Structure 1
């Protein structure tokens, strides 16, 4: 069968760089899916994107869809036929399926017979199918801030100026409606594209689909983002070596710059060395964030910036020197402003700026940033006490908390908000504050996003926790709880950071107790606020265990339970059968992680499969008793005098042995003794079930035996709830 190629190009005004990336990703999955649904497949798909165009080239398309057979199951045969004749029901089915009534087939399905309509469907020409699909590839793209233009109804990030639709070397007629209901002519596709605005202005008449890339490059357009990226990296590195430097190429900036140009040219710029007296973070922010330039560092000392930068031009390479000079003037102006801000900020010590935070609102209903600072100090003190910090460390934490937001009222941070914390740390050092305080001011914002660095200093960790806890308690008190994808105050990220910091620092803090105190102080002790916060943090813990640590979902439930159960508690009294696991998980976050990882290890070694049957059976029967989940000491609930059968006496001794050997180590994070004791107990448990009637008519004997099983359940729950574990065949 002959194969053909198809090209679709959408030409636009300059598109946002983020949309080009997003559109190509959507096409990467969406176009093959739509072809598969239409019973088509291309041997190869190439995607192209620049600021002015999106294009897809499909190669190896068949000329026609394959013929196929459609089979539709109809009513039972006894309803479709009576006395060998087709009934009205059968005729309606045949009519609905568009087949001759005489062609209906009767087939045995399971225990009954049904009629089937079998229809041969001849494949349609692929070109006709593409004509129907291609407009939806364009209109189906999603993005932010879509716009309408020219009084039309079509939405797209920028006005669409031309369309190309080529079937090999022929134009495949295509109409993109611009008005609802096709009330007015839309955009008509042809073979005319546009070249680079400077290097190849004017029309480009495309000869055939497969010559697209070659012809566009001849017109000054490099349409493949991967090719542009490789060119940028090579040229930037080459240019940096000319000044004995090494270019700093942040991945996010590289991705953005790739989609800002159609024909990249690296251009060297420079600024006066005196500006290097500014903090490196300021210079980098000016270049990377504000100008989309690549800084250059000294090859011999990578920590040292050089007075050069590299920009990627979309203009004429012959004008690179003039372009570089213009870019240099812009950078000098920005750095001059930054130097003025920096010198002015240093005139007043950071500590004297704290009171100015009274004029900065934190959030409606939660006071000013000055109020927040005082709350952060109070919460930091509670955390420091919970961690048993030495007095000198408590003093450093308090000083960090006092100064942590002071740079928000500096001129530098007002102009460059992304430098909050960074400038505070620099100003603190300039003021002679201890290094731990300066580091803590910067690091209390960490992690700045997913995968970003966690704070490494005690001050940064404590104050960072206090800052996030204050935000969470305050927002939940006001009812501003994230719903769906809406999270205006980044509360999910704040909660994630609490968990990640606790894991990294191995803080065995009881989050429940801390939240209770904070809700009492700042939310008038509202029980609903407390439960909502606990549920929210448990949900974030669940997500991090599954996504960050790759723990199986059922094992996460085994250590964490159901976070939603916290909302089912009665007022201040928690129903243990509903919410003891999430509360226990929040009482020691590092221990919860260890439990989950150990369960994952037991599953990998096969030991969990050996433990599961015995412990799961104990848990199911123990549920009929009344033993609280926190009881693990046999002496607290079992009267040995009431034990009659040798099997139950042995089981009591087993529970004592597990308690002596495994409970205390498990509470410290060493689960091996507990697991070994549980493994050794399996024969005695099996003997108990064989020899003893658990649900004895005598209430005393029955309660004692259920308590024995409850003890085993509770002791094993120090590792996880076996009832939540999913085993094959269970």
Structure 2
């Protein structure tokens, strides 16, 4: 068994590309080896700002030999009077075998000539020489560049290649115009701490040799070390570090030999909102802020940086960092004081100069639309009094901070600064909080808005965006979603579910679409009907995904509550978002506790037969459609009586637990109707008797449909 090392040495790579490249290699290299019948014992991937590497352990010396069967011409064409024809001779020559090795075998299309031959496995070294260049040049990403006079593209110039099969250099060359980069055993250590070349004697020694040259090539170990250094440095100044996962990931890919540097800033800057200081540090400087204590927003006047330089120069590095952050925080202080010198409302006219979308006008116009949609939601939820006034005020001010100097400098502070400036300007706390909350959730793991005001304004903002952008025909396709419409639809559903808001989304879509048509008829790319259909399908797909992935509901149960090509279920899901959630969760719970299995057969059998009748799925009163005069068996009378009890129990209520208990109670009666000593033939020759029996089954089916389409449920 052999060990293979590939290291691609470069100028400093973009931090995000390191992770992207390693992820691509993780999926492609094992598959590439498997496609060539090579199965290693283990594959390790390494990455730093100056190198990407893969270490492949336990490779066989060569491919295994393979037996191959090749089908040739028909026997009649290959042999004539028992002698081989030109077709047989030519086939044998092409396959590199003697004519005597040919076999005749029967197939569905007659007798054919076959040959079995052994394909000798190639040496692993030869295969790797073919595969490795494609591993490198096949990497994909943003901002690739060319250098020298060639066409080779990579995020940064490639400066060296290491390719070792055990202790032997595997000859590989990447040509780039008139220049080439040939493989060797010579790597490079840390640019500052070990500027001399590094010789790697054996592939297995790669990690230890680079460690000795002050390069920690293992990304996971490097990140763990950085986290420990940050936490220890924060404790050293009596605080707790703010470790943003995205920043930690970025910093990990910017250093090869991390060392912590503690810096400080003037305590007077602590008068700024902590979000401003943290954003200044993280976004612009890649500094880690320090809190007084965990779960607090009170900062200490310190920060931590991770240096890739000489630890002996930490003091000089800290002084340089401190000069930079002092200037940045001075700018932030100026912006903050200038912004809050005037009321938040005074920024609204400036929103007219900010374009939301070319055909949809300014952000100021969007603010007016958000207010209209928020009114529709408030009407639907019957919100009155101060809550309604707060919703309107928050909708009016929710985008005002976009044109402040602070948000102009740090767009990620939108909403956050709006909240601060609203409070300074004397706005009610509910309004200020809603300005911040209406952006939530900002990302996959962010909180949902906690207040009713924030929830309504957040839904209104997103609903306006969805209808308007869809109305322009700009519907997300594949991975393209520049307006984050999938996230917007997910947020609307999640906010309603988390806050138990009884939203009729179908009605809201109707109303917002009507408003859009009145205002933007000249730029509409879809008819009202098509726009409604596209949005309906889009929301249903989001609901389906949220139920399956976030709520972990089985796919067939999701199908059962949303219906498959069943308009009644589709409309019901959008009319009552809470109901579709509750039915899915309830179905999953009764599957898990076994209750579903006790009613599944009864309901499913009844539903299949009822489909052959004409009873409307909305009919629930057995006395209106079933005529006892057509009963011939006592089982029919018992079934009718049980349906009457079911009808009286439910009384139009959507109590799904009571419904399932009632269906379980009726199951033995239905079983007797089908298979007991007094069973009936449902499809009786007499059409009146037949329809009466189908109506009995139809009423049962209709009650089951209050919960779900049992026909979509897979028997477990």
TM-score normalised over the length of structure 1: 0.90
Change (3 A) 1:88 1:511: farther
- Identify which of 435, 458, 477 aligns with 1:464: 458
Q: How does 1:371-410 map to 2 (within 5 A)?
A: 371-410=365-404
Unaligned 5+ residue runs, structure 1? 566-577
Q: CA deviation at 1:389?
A: 2.2
> 2:421: which partner in 1?
427
Residues in 1 aligned to 2:69 and 2:551: alpha-carbon distance in whole angstroms: 46
Mean Cα deviation higher: 87-96 or 400-409: 87-96
Q: CA deviation at 1:608?
A: 2.9
Q: CA deviation at 1:10?
A: 0.5
Asked whether 1:688 is paired with 2:686, we answer no
> 2:117: which partner in 1?
119
Q: CA deviation at 1:396?
A: 1.4
> 1:281: which partner in 2?
275
Q: CA deviation at 1:87?
A: 8.3
Asked whether 1:174 is paired with 2:176, we answer no
> 1:550: which partner in 2?
552
Residues in 1 aligned to 2:597 and 2:148: alpha-carbon distance in whole angstroms: 66
> 1:327: which partner in 2?
321
Asked whether 1:677 is paired with 2:662, we answer yes
> 1:606: which partner in 2?
594
Is contact 1:400-1:459 (8 Å) kept? yes
Asked whether 1:593 is paired with 2:591, we answer no
Mean Cα deviation higher: 295-304 or 309-318: 295-304
Residues in 1 aligned to 2:183 and 2:270: alpha-carbon distance in whole angstroms: 54
> 1:49: which partner in 2?
47
Q: CA deviation at 1:267?
A: 0.6
> 1:527: which partner in 2?
529
Secondary structure of 2:456's counterpart equals helix
Mean Cα deviation higher: 22-31 or 677-686: 677-686
Residues in 2 aligned to 1:643 and 1:529: alpha-carbon distance in whole angstroms: 50
> 1:572: which partner in 2?
none
Deviations 1:51-104 (A, max 9, x none): 111011122222222233334577898998899887888777766655545445
Deviations 1:195-220 (A, max 9, x none): 22222224223222122222222333
Is contact 2:240-2:294 (8 Å) kept? no
Q: How does 1:571-582 map to 2 (within 5 A)?
A: 578-582=566-570
Is contact 1:468-1:494 (8 Å) kept? yes
Change (3 A) 1:723 1:92: farther
Q: How does 1:701-712 map to 2 (within 5 A)?
A: 701-712=689-700
Q: CA deviation at 1:459?
A: 0.9
Q: How does 1:5-84 map to 2 (within 5 A)?
A: 5-71=3-69
Residues in 1 aligned to 2:542 and 2:95: alpha-carbon distance in whole angstroms: 51
Is contact 1:276-1:305 (8 Å) kept? yes
Secondary structure of 2:715's counterpart equals coil
Q: CA deviation at 1:725?
A: 1.6
Q: CA deviation at 1:301?
A: 7.7
Q: CA deviation at 1:292?
A: 0.9
Q: CA deviation at 1:661?
A: 2.7
Is contact 1:662-1:671 (8 Å) kept? no
Is contact 1:269-1:310 (8 Å) kept? yes
Provide the alpha-carbon RMSD of the alignment: 2.7
> 1:4: which partner in 2?
2
Residues in 1 aligned to 2:658 and 2:110: alpha-carbon distance in whole angstroms: 58
Deviations 1:235-261 (A, max 9, x none): 212221221111111111111100011
Secondary structure of 1:523's counterpart equals helix
Change (3 A) 1:383 1:69: same
Asked whether 1:256 is paired with 2:258, we answer no
Mean Cα deviation higher: 603-612 or 194-203: 603-612
Residues in 2 aligned to 1:610 and 1:510: alpha-carbon distance in whole angstroms: 33
Unaligned 5+ residue runs, structure 2? 519-526
- Identify which of 232, 256, 280 aligns with 1:238: 232
> 2:620: which partner in 1?
632
Mean Cα deviation higher: 504-513 or 603-612: 603-612
Residues in 2 aligned to 1:295 and 1:41: alpha-carbon distance in whole angstroms: 46
Secondary structure of 1:132's counterpart equals helix
Is contact 1:400-1:438 (8 Å) kept? yes
Is contact 1:663-1:718 (8 Å) kept? no
Q: How does 1:488-499 map to 2 (within 5 A)?
A: 488-499=482-493
Change (3 A) 1:458 1:132: same
Is contact 1:580-1:629 (8 Å) kept? no
Asked whether 1:144 is paired with 2:142, we answer yes
Is contact 2:185-2:200 (8 Å) kept? yes
Residues in 1 aligned to 2:600 and 2:82: alpha-carbon distance in whole angstroms: 58
Is contact 2:274-2:297 (8 Å) kept? no
Secondary structure of 2:357's counterpart equals coil
Change (3 A) 1:597 1:123: same
Secondary structure of 1:155's counterpart equals coil
Q: CA deviation at 1:438?
A: 1.2
Residues in 2 aligned to 1:555 and 1:352: alpha-carbon distance in whole angstroms: 52
- Identify which of 323, 347, 350 aligns with 2:341: 347
Q: CA deviation at 1:109?
A: 9.1
> 2:561: which partner in 1?
559
Aligned length: 705
Q: CA deviation at 1:11?
A: 1.0
- Identify which of 181, 186, 200 aligns with 1:187: 181
Residues in 2 aligned to 1:702 and 1:88: alpha-carbon distance in whole angstroms: 73
Change (3 A) 1:338 1:72: same
Residues in 2 aligned to 1:75 and 1:703: alpha-carbon distance in whole angstroms: 64
Change (3 A) 1:675 1:110: farther
Q: CA deviation at 1:626?
A: 3.3
Is contact 2:557-2:588 (8 Å) kept? yes
Change (3 A) 1:113 1:584: farther
Mean Cα deviation higher: 521-530 or 385-394: 521-530
Change (3 A) 1:557 1:98: farther
Residues in 2 aligned to 1:596 and 1:114: alpha-carbon distance in whole angstroms: 57
Mean Cα deviation higher: 68-77 or 148-157: 68-77
Deviations 1:293-316 (A, max 9, x none): 100111388331001100111112
Secondary structure of 1:310's counterpart equals strand
Q: CA deviation at 1:274?
A: 0.4
Deviations 1:368-417 (A, max 9, x none): 21211111112112212222224121111111111111111111111110
Residues in 1 aligned to 2:240 and 2:80: alpha-carbon distance in whole angstroms: 86
> 1:569: which partner in 2?
none
